Amino acid sequence: MSARAEDRTARARDLGGRPTAPDGPAADPATPGRPADDLDARQAALDGLAGSLRERMLARPADPGAPEDAQERIRALVDREASVLDERSRAALVARIAERSFGLGPLEPLLADPEVDEILVCGTAPAWVERRGRLEPTEVRFAGDGELRHAIERILAPLGRRVDEAEPLVDARLPDGSRVNVVIPPLALDGPVLTIRRFRRRGFSPDELVGNGTLTAPLAELLGRAVRRRCNLLVCGGTGSGKTTLLNALSSFIDPGERVVTIEDAAELRLRQPHVLRLEARPPNLEGRGEVTIRRLVKNALRMRPDRIVVGEVRGAEALDMLTALSAGHDGSLCTVHAGSAAEALRRLETLALMADVGLPHAAIREQVADAIDLVVCQARAADGSRCVTAVAEVVRVAGGAAAREVYTFRAGRPTWRAPLGEELAAKLERG
Protein backbone atom coordinates (compact mmCIF):
# COMPACT_ATOMS: atom_id res chain seq x y z
CA MET A 1 0.00 0.00 0.00
CA SER A 2 1.37 3.46 -0.93
CA ALA A 3 2.14 6.07 1.71
CA ARG A 4 -0.75 8.24 0.47
CA ALA A 5 -3.18 5.34 0.67
CA GLU A 6 -1.98 4.52 4.18
CA ASP A 7 -2.48 8.14 5.16
CA ARG A 8 -6.04 8.13 3.78
CA THR A 9 -6.80 4.91 5.62
CA ALA A 10 -5.46 6.32 8.89
CA ARG A 11 -7.52 9.47 8.54
CA ALA A 12 -10.60 7.46 7.78
CA ARG A 13 -10.10 5.42 10.93
CA ASP A 14 -9.68 8.67 12.89
CA LEU A 15 -13.01 9.79 11.49
CA GLY A 16 -14.71 6.62 12.60
CA GLY A 17 -15.08 5.27 9.08
CA ARG A 18 -14.14 1.79 7.82
CA PRO A 19 -11.50 1.58 5.04
CA THR A 20 -13.06 -0.10 2.07
CA ALA A 21 -12.44 -0.78 -1.56
CA PRO A 22 -13.05 2.24 -3.78
CA ASP A 23 -16.43 0.93 -4.88
CA GLY A 24 -17.53 -0.37 -1.51
CA PRO A 25 -19.73 1.47 0.99
CA ALA A 26 -18.08 3.30 3.85
CA ALA A 27 -19.39 3.29 7.37
CA ASP A 28 -21.47 6.29 8.38
CA PRO A 29 -19.37 8.31 10.84
CA ALA A 30 -22.54 9.75 12.37
CA THR A 31 -23.96 6.38 13.43
CA PRO A 32 -26.24 6.87 16.45
CA GLY A 33 -25.12 5.39 19.71
CA ARG A 34 -21.43 6.20 19.46
CA PRO A 35 -19.90 7.77 22.58
CA ALA A 36 -19.80 11.56 22.70
CA ASP A 37 -16.00 11.64 23.06
CA ASP A 38 -15.71 9.48 19.93
CA LEU A 39 -17.88 11.99 18.05
CA ASP A 40 -15.71 14.86 19.30
CA ALA A 41 -12.58 13.02 18.22
CA ARG A 42 -13.96 12.43 14.74
CA GLN A 43 -15.02 16.08 14.44
CA ALA A 44 -11.52 17.16 15.48
CA ALA A 45 -10.00 14.77 12.93
CA LEU A 46 -12.35 16.13 10.25
CA ASP A 47 -11.30 19.68 11.13
CA GLY A 48 -7.64 18.69 10.94
CA LEU A 49 -8.11 17.03 7.56
CA ALA A 50 -10.02 20.08 6.28
CA GLY A 51 -7.17 22.37 7.31
CA SER A 52 -4.59 20.11 5.68
CA LEU A 53 -6.50 19.90 2.40
CA ARG A 54 -7.11 23.65 2.36
CA GLU A 55 -3.38 24.33 2.70
CA ARG A 56 -2.69 21.85 -0.09
CA MET A 57 -5.24 23.53 -2.36
CA LEU A 58 -3.79 27.00 -1.74
CA ALA A 59 -0.19 25.87 -2.21
CA ARG A 60 -0.85 23.98 -5.44
CA PRO A 61 -1.98 25.81 -8.60
CA ALA A 62 -5.05 24.51 -10.38
CA ASP A 63 -4.40 21.83 -12.99
CA PRO A 64 -5.17 22.65 -16.63
CA GLY A 65 -8.76 21.77 -17.30
CA ALA A 66 -9.67 21.84 -13.60
CA PRO A 67 -13.00 23.48 -12.63
CA GLU A 68 -12.78 27.28 -12.35
CA ASP A 69 -15.42 27.43 -9.62
CA ALA A 70 -13.71 27.26 -6.25
CA GLN A 71 -16.45 25.11 -4.75
CA GLU A 72 -16.01 22.58 -7.55
CA ARG A 73 -12.24 22.60 -7.02
CA ILE A 74 -12.78 21.79 -3.36
CA ARG A 75 -15.18 18.97 -4.23
CA ALA A 76 -12.68 17.53 -6.74
CA LEU A 77 -9.86 17.74 -4.19
CA VAL A 78 -11.91 15.98 -1.51
CA ASP A 79 -13.05 13.27 -3.93
CA ARG A 80 -9.43 12.67 -4.95
CA GLU A 81 -7.69 12.87 -1.58
CA ALA A 82 -10.40 11.53 0.76
CA SER A 83 -12.25 9.04 -1.40
CA VAL A 84 -12.13 6.48 1.42
CA LEU A 85 -14.75 8.54 3.30
CA ASP A 86 -18.46 8.12 2.82
CA GLU A 87 -20.56 10.73 1.02
CA ARG A 88 -21.77 12.45 4.20
CA SER A 89 -18.24 12.86 5.56
CA ARG A 90 -16.97 14.17 2.21
CA ALA A 91 -19.81 16.73 2.10
CA ALA A 92 -18.94 17.87 5.63
CA LEU A 93 -15.28 18.08 4.59
CA VAL A 94 -16.15 20.24 1.57
CA ALA A 95 -18.15 22.57 3.81
CA ARG A 96 -15.29 22.90 6.31
CA ILE A 97 -12.70 23.65 3.63
CA ALA A 98 -15.03 26.25 2.08
CA GLU A 99 -15.49 27.91 5.46
CA ARG A 100 -11.73 28.08 5.96
CA SER A 101 -11.11 29.32 2.42
CA PHE A 102 -13.84 31.93 1.92
CA GLY A 103 -15.83 32.32 5.13
CA LEU A 104 -14.98 32.94 8.76
CA GLY A 105 -14.47 29.33 9.74
CA PRO A 106 -16.18 28.35 12.98
CA LEU A 107 -18.06 31.66 13.09
CA GLU A 108 -20.15 30.82 10.02
CA PRO A 109 -22.96 29.11 12.02
CA LEU A 110 -23.20 32.20 14.25
CA LEU A 111 -23.35 34.49 11.23
CA ALA A 112 -26.15 32.35 9.84
CA ASP A 113 -28.17 32.64 13.07
CA PRO A 114 -30.68 35.50 12.63
CA GLU A 115 -31.00 35.96 16.41
CA VAL A 116 -27.31 36.82 16.88
CA ASP A 117 -26.73 40.59 16.99
CA GLU A 118 -23.04 40.66 17.91
CA ILE A 119 -20.17 38.14 17.86
CA LEU A 120 -17.28 38.66 20.28
CA VAL A 121 -14.05 36.67 19.88
CA CYS A 122 -10.96 36.86 22.09
CA GLY A 123 -8.14 34.61 20.90
CA THR A 124 -8.86 30.91 21.17
CA ALA A 125 -11.34 31.29 24.05
CA PRO A 126 -14.98 30.38 23.35
CA ALA A 127 -16.79 33.15 21.47
CA TRP A 128 -19.60 35.15 23.06
CA VAL A 129 -22.68 36.43 21.29
CA GLU A 130 -25.44 38.91 21.98
CA ARG A 131 -28.99 37.63 21.56
CA ARG A 132 -31.99 39.83 22.37
CA GLY A 133 -29.72 42.30 24.14
CA ARG A 134 -28.04 39.75 26.45
CA LEU A 135 -24.53 38.32 26.22
CA GLU A 136 -24.10 34.56 26.37
CA PRO A 137 -21.16 32.19 25.81
CA THR A 138 -20.99 29.66 22.98
CA GLU A 139 -18.97 26.53 22.32
CA VAL A 140 -17.55 28.04 19.13
CA ARG A 141 -13.82 28.71 19.20
CA PHE A 142 -10.85 28.95 16.88
CA ALA A 143 -8.27 26.17 17.00
CA GLY A 144 -5.41 28.64 17.21
CA ASP A 145 -4.41 32.27 16.79
CA GLY A 146 -3.24 31.46 13.27
CA GLU A 147 -6.70 30.33 12.19
CA LEU A 148 -8.23 33.47 13.71
CA ARG A 149 -5.69 35.66 11.92
CA HIS A 150 -6.53 33.92 8.62
CA ALA A 151 -10.23 34.72 9.17
CA ILE A 152 -9.37 38.37 9.92
CA GLU A 153 -7.25 38.59 6.78
CA ARG A 154 -10.13 37.23 4.69
CA ILE A 155 -12.27 40.11 5.99
CA LEU A 156 -9.67 42.81 5.35
CA ALA A 157 -8.09 41.68 2.08
CA PRO A 158 -11.05 42.56 -0.22
CA LEU A 159 -11.14 46.03 1.36
CA GLY A 160 -7.45 46.73 0.81
CA ARG A 161 -6.90 46.92 4.56
CA ARG A 162 -4.31 45.26 6.74
CA VAL A 163 -3.64 44.71 10.41
CA ASP A 164 -0.15 44.14 11.79
CA GLU A 165 2.13 45.31 14.57
CA ALA A 166 2.51 48.69 12.88
CA GLU A 167 -1.29 49.08 12.63
CA PRO A 168 -2.80 46.80 15.31
CA LEU A 169 -6.26 48.44 15.26
CA VAL A 170 -8.60 48.37 12.29
CA ASP A 171 -12.30 48.90 11.48
CA ALA A 172 -13.94 47.18 8.52
CA ARG A 173 -17.21 45.66 7.45
CA LEU A 174 -18.45 42.43 5.94
CA PRO A 175 -20.11 42.31 2.50
CA ASP A 176 -23.54 42.31 4.19
CA GLY A 177 -22.70 45.57 5.98
CA SER A 178 -21.92 44.10 9.40
CA ARG A 179 -19.41 46.24 11.30
CA VAL A 180 -16.06 44.67 12.22
CA ASN A 181 -13.40 45.79 14.71
CA VAL A 182 -10.04 44.06 15.11
CA VAL A 183 -7.34 44.44 17.76
CA ILE A 184 -4.22 42.25 17.65
CA PRO A 185 -1.18 41.78 19.89
CA PRO A 186 0.73 43.51 21.35
CA LEU A 187 -2.31 45.67 22.21
CA ALA A 188 -4.54 42.61 22.75
CA LEU A 189 -2.79 40.59 25.44
CA ASP A 190 -4.76 37.33 25.10
CA GLY A 191 -4.70 36.95 21.34
CA PRO A 192 -6.48 38.71 18.46
CA VAL A 193 -9.82 40.29 19.39
CA LEU A 194 -12.56 40.28 16.75
CA THR A 195 -15.89 42.07 17.26
CA ILE A 196 -18.67 41.77 14.67
CA ARG A 197 -21.84 43.83 14.98
CA ARG A 198 -24.43 42.24 12.74
CA PHE A 199 -26.27 44.25 10.14
CA ARG A 200 -29.96 43.69 9.59
CA ARG A 201 -31.04 44.27 6.02
CA ARG A 202 -34.54 45.25 7.09
CA GLY A 203 -34.70 47.65 10.00
CA PHE A 204 -37.56 48.08 12.42
CA SER A 205 -40.49 50.29 11.47
CA PRO A 206 -41.91 52.82 13.97
CA ASP A 207 -44.90 50.52 14.53
CA GLU A 208 -42.57 47.63 15.33
CA LEU A 209 -40.66 49.81 17.81
CA VAL A 210 -43.97 50.65 19.47
CA GLY A 211 -44.80 46.96 19.56
CA ASN A 212 -41.55 45.97 21.26
CA GLY A 213 -41.70 48.79 23.81
CA THR A 214 -38.94 51.05 22.47
CA LEU A 215 -41.46 53.82 21.82
CA THR A 216 -44.93 54.63 23.07
CA ALA A 217 -47.57 55.32 20.41
CA PRO A 218 -48.01 59.02 21.36
CA LEU A 219 -44.24 59.54 21.32
CA ALA A 220 -43.93 57.88 17.90
CA GLU A 221 -46.64 60.22 16.63
CA LEU A 222 -44.79 63.28 18.02
CA LEU A 223 -41.44 62.26 16.51
CA GLY A 224 -43.12 61.45 13.20
CA ARG A 225 -44.62 64.93 13.06
CA ALA A 226 -41.23 66.44 13.95
CA VAL A 227 -39.53 64.62 11.06
CA ARG A 228 -42.29 65.47 8.58
CA ARG A 229 -42.19 69.17 9.61
CA ARG A 230 -38.42 69.20 9.01
CA CYS A 231 -37.24 69.58 12.58
CA ASN A 232 -33.58 68.77 13.24
CA LEU A 233 -33.31 65.75 15.54
CA LEU A 234 -30.29 64.57 17.50
CA VAL A 235 -30.47 60.97 18.79
CA CYS A 236 -28.16 60.19 21.71
CA GLY A 237 -27.32 57.13 23.77
CA GLY A 238 -24.54 54.77 24.73
CA THR A 239 -22.89 52.01 22.73
CA GLY A 240 -25.42 49.36 21.72
CA SER A 241 -28.40 51.41 22.88
CA GLY A 242 -30.06 51.26 19.45
CA LYS A 243 -29.39 54.78 18.14
CA THR A 244 -28.93 53.68 14.53
CA THR A 245 -32.02 51.46 14.71
CA LEU A 246 -34.11 54.40 15.94
CA LEU A 247 -32.61 56.69 13.30
CA ASN A 248 -33.55 54.19 10.61
CA ALA A 249 -37.11 54.03 11.91
CA LEU A 250 -37.49 57.82 12.13
CA SER A 251 -36.23 58.19 8.56
CA SER A 252 -39.36 56.37 7.36
CA PHE A 253 -41.30 59.61 8.03
CA ILE A 254 -39.27 61.48 5.38
CA ASP A 255 -41.28 62.31 2.27
CA PRO A 256 -40.46 59.92 -0.61
CA GLY A 257 -40.03 62.87 -2.96
CA GLU A 258 -37.07 64.31 -1.04
CA ARG A 259 -33.40 63.89 -1.92
CA VAL A 260 -31.56 62.48 1.10
CA VAL A 261 -27.79 62.19 1.58
CA THR A 262 -26.57 59.77 4.28
CA ILE A 263 -23.04 60.01 5.65
CA GLU A 264 -21.51 57.28 7.78
CA ASP A 265 -18.19 55.98 9.02
CA ALA A 266 -19.38 52.41 8.33
CA ALA A 267 -22.55 52.10 6.25
CA GLU A 268 -25.39 50.78 8.40
CA LEU A 269 -28.38 52.97 7.53
CA ARG A 270 -30.91 51.58 5.08
CA LEU A 271 -33.41 54.29 4.16
CA ARG A 272 -36.40 53.18 2.12
CA GLN A 273 -36.93 56.38 0.15
CA PRO A 274 -36.32 56.12 -3.61
CA HIS A 275 -33.88 59.06 -3.81
CA VAL A 276 -31.11 58.32 -1.29
CA LEU A 277 -27.40 58.93 -1.85
CA ARG A 278 -25.20 56.92 0.52
CA LEU A 279 -21.70 58.18 1.35
CA GLU A 280 -19.15 56.33 3.45
CA ALA A 281 -15.89 57.62 4.90
CA ARG A 282 -12.67 55.96 3.73
CA PRO A 283 -9.60 55.26 5.90
CA PRO A 284 -6.05 55.71 4.63
CA ASN A 285 -4.66 53.00 2.34
CA LEU A 286 -1.55 50.93 3.06
CA GLU A 287 0.65 53.91 2.16
CA GLY A 288 -1.28 56.23 4.48
CA ARG A 289 -2.98 58.07 1.62
CA GLY A 290 -6.48 58.46 0.28
CA GLU A 291 -8.33 59.12 3.55
CA VAL A 292 -11.75 60.73 3.18
CA THR A 293 -13.18 61.90 6.51
CA ILE A 294 -16.79 62.38 7.53
CA ARG A 295 -16.08 66.10 7.77
CA ARG A 296 -15.06 66.20 4.14
CA LEU A 297 -18.17 64.25 3.16
CA VAL A 298 -20.41 66.67 5.07
CA LYS A 299 -18.85 69.59 3.22
CA ASN A 300 -19.30 67.81 -0.10
CA ALA A 301 -22.90 66.84 0.68
CA LEU A 302 -23.83 70.52 0.79
CA ARG A 303 -22.94 70.70 -2.93
CA MET A 304 -25.18 67.75 -3.82
CA ARG A 305 -28.49 69.59 -3.54
CA PRO A 306 -29.72 67.64 -0.50
CA ASP A 307 -33.19 68.13 0.92
CA ARG A 308 -31.95 66.38 4.06
CA ILE A 309 -28.61 65.24 5.45
CA VAL A 310 -28.48 62.21 7.73
CA VAL A 311 -25.20 61.61 9.60
CA GLY A 312 -24.94 58.15 11.15
CA GLU A 313 -22.80 59.39 14.02
CA VAL A 314 -21.13 62.70 14.78
CA ARG A 315 -17.84 61.96 16.49
CA GLY A 316 -15.32 64.59 15.39
CA ALA A 317 -14.70 67.98 13.84
CA GLU A 318 -17.51 67.41 11.34
CA ALA A 319 -19.82 68.61 14.13
CA LEU A 320 -18.98 72.22 13.26
CA ASP A 321 -19.81 71.77 9.56
CA MET A 322 -23.01 69.98 10.48
CA LEU A 323 -24.05 72.76 12.85
CA THR A 324 -23.22 75.39 10.21
CA ALA A 325 -25.34 73.58 7.61
CA LEU A 326 -28.31 73.15 9.95
CA SER A 327 -28.14 76.78 11.02
CA ALA A 328 -28.00 77.95 7.41
CA GLY A 329 -31.25 76.42 6.20
CA HIS A 330 -30.55 72.69 5.70
CA ASP A 331 -33.28 71.73 8.12
CA GLY A 332 -34.96 68.37 8.59
CA SER A 333 -31.70 66.55 9.25
CA LEU A 334 -31.04 63.63 11.60
CA CYS A 335 -27.86 62.51 13.35
CA THR A 336 -26.65 60.58 16.39
CA VAL A 337 -24.05 61.21 19.07
CA HIS A 338 -22.71 59.24 22.02
CA ALA A 339 -24.12 60.79 25.20
CA GLY A 340 -26.09 59.72 28.23
CA SER A 341 -28.58 62.60 28.42
CA ALA A 342 -29.90 65.49 26.36
CA ALA A 343 -27.81 68.06 28.22
CA GLU A 344 -24.71 65.90 27.83
CA ALA A 345 -25.44 65.50 24.11
CA LEU A 346 -25.47 69.27 23.61
CA ARG A 347 -22.21 69.67 25.55
CA ARG A 348 -20.60 66.91 23.53
CA LEU A 349 -21.71 68.53 20.29
CA GLU A 350 -20.07 71.77 21.43
CA THR A 351 -16.86 69.92 22.34
CA LEU A 352 -16.71 68.12 19.00
CA ALA A 353 -17.26 71.38 17.14
CA LEU A 354 -14.32 72.93 19.01
CA MET A 355 -12.15 70.08 17.64
CA ALA A 356 -12.41 71.75 14.21
CA ASP A 357 -9.81 74.19 15.55
CA VAL A 358 -10.97 77.21 13.55
CA GLY A 359 -10.69 79.65 16.44
CA LEU A 360 -14.40 80.27 16.99
CA PRO A 361 -15.32 81.41 20.50
CA HIS A 362 -17.13 78.85 22.61
CA ALA A 363 -20.08 81.23 22.93
CA ALA A 364 -20.48 81.35 19.15
CA ILE A 365 -20.58 77.57 18.93
CA ARG A 366 -23.17 77.38 21.71
CA GLU A 367 -25.31 79.84 19.77
CA GLN A 368 -25.04 77.63 16.69
CA VAL A 369 -26.14 74.60 18.72
CA ALA A 370 -29.19 76.52 19.93
CA ASP A 371 -30.05 77.50 16.34
CA ALA A 372 -29.38 74.08 14.78
CA ILE A 373 -31.05 71.44 16.98
CA ASP A 374 -34.77 71.28 17.73
CA LEU A 375 -35.18 68.02 19.65
CA VAL A 376 -32.85 65.58 21.41
CA VAL A 377 -34.05 61.98 21.70
CA CYS A 378 -32.32 59.87 24.36
CA GLN A 379 -32.22 56.09 24.07
CA ALA A 380 -30.81 53.53 26.52
CA ARG A 381 -30.41 49.79 26.92
CA ALA A 382 -31.89 48.30 30.10
CA ALA A 383 -30.32 45.57 32.22
CA ASP A 384 -32.57 42.96 30.58
CA GLY A 385 -31.27 43.92 27.13
CA SER A 386 -34.34 45.84 25.99
CA ARG A 387 -33.96 49.25 24.35
CA CYS A 388 -36.17 52.20 25.18
CA VAL A 389 -36.43 55.94 24.50
CA THR A 390 -35.95 57.36 27.98
CA ALA A 391 -36.33 61.07 27.30
CA VAL A 392 -37.11 63.68 24.67
CA ALA A 393 -35.93 67.23 25.23
CA GLU A 394 -36.59 70.46 23.39
CA VAL A 395 -33.53 72.63 22.80
CA VAL A 396 -34.21 76.12 24.10
CA ARG A 397 -32.15 79.27 24.12
CA VAL A 398 -30.91 80.57 27.47
CA ALA A 399 -28.48 83.29 28.46
CA GLY A 400 -25.50 80.96 28.07
CA GLY A 401 -26.54 79.51 24.70
CA ALA A 402 -28.48 76.23 24.44
CA ALA A 403 -30.22 74.18 27.12
CA ALA A 404 -32.30 71.00 27.10
CA ARG A 405 -35.85 71.15 28.48
CA GLU A 406 -37.38 67.72 28.97
CA VAL A 407 -40.85 67.29 27.51
CA TYR A 408 -41.06 63.49 27.89
CA THR A 409 -39.46 60.89 30.15
CA PHE A 410 -39.82 57.15 30.63
CA ARG A 411 -38.84 56.01 34.12
CA ALA A 412 -39.77 52.98 36.21
CA GLY A 413 -41.78 51.64 33.31
CA ARG A 414 -44.02 54.70 33.13
CA PRO A 415 -44.09 57.38 30.39
CA THR A 416 -44.55 60.95 31.59
CA TRP A 417 -45.18 64.12 29.61
CA ARG A 418 -43.40 66.71 31.71
CA ALA A 419 -44.01 69.96 29.87
CA PRO A 420 -45.68 71.25 26.71
CA LEU A 421 -43.56 72.17 23.73
CA GLY A 422 -42.44 75.75 23.39
CA GLU A 423 -44.60 78.07 21.30
CA GLU A 424 -42.15 78.25 18.38
CA LEU A 425 -41.66 74.49 18.09
CA ALA A 426 -45.35 73.72 18.68
CA ALA A 427 -46.27 76.12 15.88
CA LYS A 428 -43.73 74.48 13.58
CA LEU A 429 -45.23 71.05 14.22
CA GLU A 430 -48.74 72.32 13.51
CA ARG A 431 -47.85 73.88 10.17
CA GLY A 432 -48.68 72.02 6.96
pLDDT over threshold 50, residue 68: no
If one compares 57 and 77, the residue with the highest pLDDT of the two is 77
| Cβ atoms 80, 72 nearer than 8 A | no
Q: Taking 70 as the threshold, does the pLDDT of residue 33 lie above it?
A: no
pLDDT at 200: 73
CA distances from 307 to 188, 327, 375, 431 (A): 44, 14, 19, 18
| For range 262-272, the mean pLDDT | 87
Q: How confident is the model at residue 67 (pLDDT cuts 50, 70, 90)?
A: very low
Cα–Cα dist 109/279, whole Å: 31
Average pLDDT over residues 229-258: 93
Nearest-Å Rg of the Cα atoms of the chain is: 27
Average pLDDT for 88-96:
79
Q: Does 23 or 210 have the greater pLDDT score?
A: 210
Q: To 10 degrees, the CA torsion angle through 290, 296, 302, 303?
A: -30
Please give the CATH architecture assigned to the domain spanning 206-430: 3-Layer(aba) Sandwich (3.40)
Least confident of 22-36, 227-241, 262-276: 22-36
Given a cut of 70, whether residue 32 has pLDDT beyond it is no
Instruction: Express each pLDDT in 269-291 by its tens digit.
Output: 888 899 999 999 988 877 778 88
Distance CA 341, CA 369 (A): 16
Helices (H), 123-216: 145-156, 206-211
What pLDDT score does 373 carry?
95
Contact 47, 143 (CB under 8 A): yes
Please report the pLDDT score of residue 13 as a whole number: 45
Per-residue pLDDT, averaged over 123-128, amounts to 95
Q: In percent, how much of the chain has pLDDT > 70?
A: 82
pLDDT at 251 exceeding the cut of 90: yes
| Residue predicted with more confidence, 32 or 376 | 376
Check if 106-197 and 206-430 are the same fold: no
Say which residues have a Cβ less than 8 Å from residue 194's Cβ, sequence separation at least 6. Answer: 119, 120, 121, 148, 151, 152, 180, 181, 182
Whether the predicted pLDDT of 31 surpasses 90: no
Which one has a higher pLDDT value, 39 or 384? 384
Per-domain residue ranges of the chain: 3-101, 106-197, 206-430
Sign of the torsion angle spanned by Cα atoms 167, 171, 174, 180: positive
**Exposure string over 149-183, b if 16+ CB within 10 A, otherwise e:** bbbbeebeeeeebebeeeeeebebbbeebbbbebb
Name which of 22-31, 72-81, 275-284 the model is least confident about.
22-31
d(CA 297, CA 279): 7
pTM attached to this predicted model: 0.74
Q: Which residue type sits at 362?
A: H
| Per-residue confidence (pLDDT) for residue 8, from 0 to 100 | 46
CATH of domain 106-197: 3.30.450.370
* Torsion, CA 229, CA 230, CA 234, CA 235, rounded to 10: 60
With cut-offs at 50, 70 and 90, classify the pLDDT of residue 424: confident
Cα 249 to chain centroid, rounded = 17
Task: Choose between 177 and 140: higher pLDDT.
Answer: 140
Instruction: Check whether 393 has a pLDDT greater than 70.
Output: yes
More confident residue, 290 or 210: 210
